[in-house]
């Protein structure tokens, strides 16, 4: 058993007469390892991209809610009256009247 381990450590299995089979296996395993590493890097990139997009979506949703609340405050009657007073317009004191149109038939 010691001789087998020494042969492997010294690399005799790579230079022996039937080493072509060993080289093919080593090259195949190396190619699989490279493909596995590339796949892992690709998956990591996708995970980081998904996390970045998720954070961006949360920020956009927050900005949307903030702008919607500001719009609701601006649409309130009291806010409109204040803006119109700044421009010199006042709200009407006389209530509106309904206009009835009679048909000409």
Q: What is the pLDDT of residues 54-65, one digit of tens each?
A: 999 999 999 999
Please indicate, yes or no, if residue 96 is contained in any of the structural domains. Answer: no
Number of structural domains the chain divides into = 1
Residue pLDDT, tens place only, 64-86 = 999 999 999 999 988 888 888 89
Please indicate, yes or no, if residue 93 is contained in any of the structural domains. Answer: no
Please indicate, yes or no, if residue 91 is contained in any of the structural domains. Answer: no
Number of other residues whose CB lies within 10 A of the CB of residue 12: 13
Please indicate, yes or no, if residue 66 is contained in any of the structural domains. Answer: yes
With tokens 């149109």, the residue in question is 101
Split at pLDDT 50, 70, 90, the class of 30 is very high
Please indicate, yes or no, if residue 39 is contained in any of the structural domains. Answer: yes
Range of the domain at 79: 2-86
Please indicate, yes or no, if residue 92 is contained in any of the structural domains. Answer: no
């Amino acid at each position: 058993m010691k001789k087998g381990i020494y042969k492997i450590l010294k690399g005799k299995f790579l230079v022996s007469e039937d080493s072509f089979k060993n080289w093919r296996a080593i090259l195949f395993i190396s190619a699989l390892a490279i493909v596995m590493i590339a796949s892992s890097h690709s998956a990591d990139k996708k995970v980081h991209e998904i996390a970045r997009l998720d954070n961006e979506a949360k920020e956009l949703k927050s900005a949307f809610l903030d702008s919607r609340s500001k719009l609701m405050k601006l649409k309130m009657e009291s806010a409109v009256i204040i803006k119109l007073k700044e421009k010199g317009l006042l709200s009407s004191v006389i209530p509106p009247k309904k206009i009835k149109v009679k048909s000409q038939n």
